[in-house]
Amino acid sequence: MKLRDGMWLQAQDIRSEYAEEVYSVTELRLTLHQDLEAHFDGVISVEVTHWKGACNPGPHFDLFPGGKPETGDIKVMKNDDSITLSSGSLSATAKTTNHEFDIRFHATDSSKELTSLLNRSVGLAYTPVPTNPLQTGDMRDFHHYIFTQTTLSVGETVHGLGERFGAFNKVGQAVTLWNADGGTSSEQAYKNVPLWISSRGYGIFIDTPDKVELEVGSERSCRVQTSVEGQRLKWYIIHGPTPKEVLQKYSILTGRPGKVPAWSYGLWLSTSFTTNYDEKTVNSFLEGMKARDIQVEVFHFDSFWMKAFHWCDFEFDSEMFPDPKAQITRLKSSGLVNKVCVWINPYLGQASPIFQHAATEGFLLKRKNGDIFQWDLWQTGMGIIDFTNPKAVEWYVACLNALFEKGIDAIKTDFAERIPTLDVQWYDSSLDPRKMHNYYSFLYNKIVYETLQARYGQNEAVLFARAATAGTHRFPLQWGGDCESTPEAMAESVRGGLSLGLSGYSFWSVDIGGFEGYPPPWIYKRWVAFGLLCSHSRLHGSNSFRVPWTVDNDDKSEQGCSRTLAKWTALKARLMPYIFSQAQKAVQLGIPLSLRAMCLEFPDDPTSWFLDRQFMFGDNLLVAPIFEESGDVEFYLPAGQWTNFFTNETKRGPGWFKEKHEFDSLPLYVRENTVLVLGASYERRTVYDYSKDVEVRLYHVQQGTQAMLVDKEGNAIGTLEVGPDGNLIDQKVLTGNWKVIDSPANREARS
C-alpha cells in the first residue's frame, strides 16, 4: 500500500509516524522499537514493534525445521558515533550521533554496502487519520500498519516473491503477498513467498504468513517498502554474497526442499478436467502413446473421478469406476503406465452425502455464530476442511490412505487459495484468520505429503501442488496453475517458474500445451519442447485432451505432434543420469533444478539478471524455449564456450545469438567444463541403471572437471573426473557397454 502522495504529502486518509533517531542500542524514538539479532553466518533479523503488549497470534512459519545452526562469529562493536552488530559475513551499523536514523547493512569486510534504513524508512501508519491521540484508545475503528523502507541502489534489481507471472525484475511493481486463484495472466499468484533476492548479493525474508504489501521502487523509486497490518514486522536479511548462497541460507531458515523419486521425472498424462474418464478411453490413450513410442510414467485422473460437485469427498464415481482398485490394478499390470495419480482439494461440496458427517464431527471451518462456513465460490455450498482440528486431520489422512489401498501413488493437491478471513472461527481459536489465509496451503500440503511419506517412504512422496507459501517447498512438487494455450501464456509460465525457483523451490512443472483453450499444433509442439525440459513434465488441459494425435489430426510426419512428443520424451529419459544427479545437488543447496534463473549461475554478468525467456537446467544445460511458430529465437550466452547439444556446433559468449529451429530442437547448449552422462539411445524409461550402457560426453573439459553419478534412489555411487590428459581418470563406476565421446572442439584444443 502507498503511504505517501509523492515526496512531500501523506496519502489520503493515511497518517504516518517515523523513527527519527537511534536513541539507544535497540530503542528508537516515537516509542517504536527495533531489534536486530544475529542468527548465523550472514543472517541478521530486524524486528520493528510499536506496541509490545499487543498479542502476536499464530500461525507462524515453521523456522529451522532441520535445527538451528551454531551462531558462529557474532560480535558487537561500539565506537564514538556508531554501533555494529556482525554475524559472520554480514554486519549492521547504526549511527548513534547527530540525531540521525541511519542503519547500514554491509559486508563485514566492508567490501560492499548491501542496503540501508535511512530517514523516514521505519514507521507506523494509521487509517483513517486520527485527529486526536485519545481516539487510538479504541482501535476497533482504525487500521494500524508497520512499515520499513530498505534502499535500492542504482541499477539494483529485485526478484522472487513466489510464482509471479509479470515482469521478472520486480522494481517498479506493487506486489501483494496474498494467495489467489488468478490464473497466470494477472498480478495475482497462487504461490506467494515472502522472500526476495537482490542483484547486490542479499535477500530479505519477511517472517509472517500475513498479507504483506510491497512497493518495490513504486512509491519511492529508490526504496523497497514492506508493510503489514499489525504492531510488528520482522524480516531477515540474508547475505550471500551469491544468490545461490542466499537460497542455501534461506533453506536453513525454512527447510530444504524434499526429494522426489526418479519415476516422477517421466511424462505424466492427465485425463484433463472435464473430459471422459472411462476405462476404454484411458486405455486407448495409453495404447496410442505406446504405439507412437511415447513412454508414459504416470497417469493422472483429474476431478471427475469423483461425482460432480461432491468435491472433495474421496469417493470414486461408481458409474465410471465400478471397481476402482481392480481398474487401477489392470491399468498398471498392462505395462502401459507405472504409477497413478488423482486430483483432490481441501474443500467439500454440500451435494456430497459425506458433507453432513464432516459438519457434525467438526471437520469443517465454522462461522463465528457456529454455522459451517460455506460460500458458492467454485461450487455451491462449499465447505472447507479445518486442518487445525486434529480429528479433521485424522479423518483426512484416513481418506488418503484409503486411496493408497486402491493403488494411488501420487496426489495432485489443487486449490487452497480461497480461504476466508472474515466471520470465521478456526477450531484452534488462538489463530489469526488473516494469517491462516496463506498458511493454510502449508498445512494442507504438509498433511498430504507426510501421509504419502508414511505410506511409500521418505523420498517417495510426490505432490502436484498449486498453492504455496514459505516452507511449502519442503513438500514437492508444485505446478504453475491455469495458463492459456497461447505463446504469451507460455512466456508467463516461464517467468512464473523462474520466480518460484528464486523463492527456494527445486521442482516445478506446467500444463504442457496450456490449461485453458485448444492449443494449435505449433503451440503444443513448442510447449512440449519447453515442458520436457522442466524438472517435471505433465500433459494436462481443461476441456480438451492433450494426447498429440487429437491436436493435429494425427499428423504422422517427423514434425507432427506425435513424433515431436516422442523425441522430447526420449531425450528426457536419456538425460536422467544428469537430471537425477543434479536433483540431489539442488535439494542439498535449496536451489531450483529447472527452471533455474541465469543469475543463479552467472551472478556477475549483469545481463543474467534480466533474462526471462531462458533458463539453466541444472549446472550445465542452457535452455531457450521458442515462442514463435516460425521457429525464430534469440537468446543470450554468458562468457565461455558453449556447445549445441544437437549439432556439436560451438559458440563463444558473452553475446546474443539468433537461430531458427524445427519442432524437434531448440537452443539447448552445454556449458564448457562439462562431463555429461546420458542413458543409452534406446532408453525410454525414467528409472534404470544410470551407470550402465551410458554415453559420456566431454565438453571443453579441463583437468579436475567432474560429474557425480547416482543410483536410481539418488545415492552417490561414484564420480567421473577428468585427468591431466583430458581423459577420465577412473571409469570403474561405469558398467555394461558404455562409451566416452570427446567433443570435436575439445579434441582440437588438446591437439
Q: Which helix (H) or strand (E) holds 655?
A: strand 650-660
Spell out the domains of the chain, with CATH numbers in brackets. 6-54+65-134 (2.60.40.1760), 262-345+388-589 (3.20.20.80), 598-750 (2.60.40.1180)
The alpha-helical segments, DSSP class H, found in 457-518 are 487-501
CA atoms within 13 A on the CB side of 175: 30
Which amino acid, 212?
A: V
Print burial letters for 160-173: b (CB count within 10 Å at least 16), e (below 16): bbbbbbbebbbbeb
Q: How far apart are CA 190 and CA 502, in angstroms?
A: 15
SS (H, E, C) 662-719: CCCCCCEEEECCEEEEECCCCCCCCCCCCCECCEEEEECCCCCCEEEEECCCCCEEEE
C-alpha 134/C-alpha 114 separation (Å) is 40
Q: Are 745 and 698 in contact (CB under 8 A)?
A: no
Instruction: Report the DSSP beta bridge partners of residue 339.
Output: 298
C-alpha cell at 572: 528426457
Cell of residue 406, nine digits: 486402491
**Beta carbons of 639 and 654 less than 8 angstroms apart:** yes
d(CA 605, CA 603): 5
Query: In angstroms, rounded to a whole number, what is the distance separating the alpha carbons of residues 139 and 151?
Result: 31
CA distances from 497 to 279, 316, 535, 582, 719 (A): 34, 33, 10, 18, 30
d(CA 379, CA 372): 15
> Helix %, strand %, coil % for the chain, to 5?
25, 30, 45
For residue 154, how far is the Cα from the chain centroid?
A: 28
* Residue 627 phi, psi dihedral angles, 5° rounding: -115, 5
Those residues with Cβ within 8 angstroms of residue 619's Cβ, 6 or more apart along the chain or in another chain: 582, 585, 601, 671
Cell numbers 563485514: residue: 108
Give which of 438, 451, 435, 511 is closest to 478, Cα–Cα.
511
Name the catalytic one among 156, 163, 245, 414.
414
The CA–CA distances, whole Å, from 459 to 260, 379, 452 equal 6, 35, 10
Provide the pLDDT for residue 276. Answer: 79
Which of 181, 213, 219, 417 is catalytic? The answer is 417
Q: Which of 482, 511, 672, 683 is catalytic?
A: 482
Q: Which residue has the cell 550466452?
A: 637
Q: Note the helical H segments in 535-664.
A: 561-574, 576-589, 598-601
C-alpha to C-alpha distance for 686 and 580, rounded to whole angstroms: 10
The alpha carbon of 363 is separated from its chain's Cα centroid by a whole number of angstroms, namely: 30
State yes or no: is 113 an active-site residue: no
What cell does 100 get?
540521525
Element (H, E) at 438: helix 433-456
Cα 341 from Cα 404, distance rounded (Å): 10
Largest CA distance in the chain: 85
CA pair distance 650, 670, nearest whole angstrom: 9
All residues at 6 or more sequence positions from 593 whose CB lies less than 8 Å from its CB, including other chains: 506, 507, 535, 579, 582, 583, 586, 617, 618
Confirm whether 742 is a catalytic residue: no
Cell of 550: 487429437
DSSP secondary-structure letter at 266?
S
pLDDT at 746: 60
Amino acid at 254: T
pTM higher than 0.85: yes
CA dist 423 and 371 (Å) reads 10
Return phi, psi of residue 663, to 5°.
-80, -10
Question: For this structure, is 414 an active site residue?
Answer: yes
Predicted local confidence at residue 744, as pLDDT: 63
pLDDT along the chain (751 residues), means of 10: 91 92 54 80 96 96 95 90 94 88 96 96 95 91 96 98 98 98 96 98 98 97 97 97 98 98 98 85 95 97 95 95 96 96 97 97 98 94 97 98 98 97 98 98 98 98 98 98 97 98 98 96 98 98 93 97 98 98 98 98 98 98 98 98 98 98 98 98 96 97 97 97 93 95 63 41
Grid coordinates 484468520 are at which residue?
433
312: preceding bond cis by omega (within 30 degrees): yes
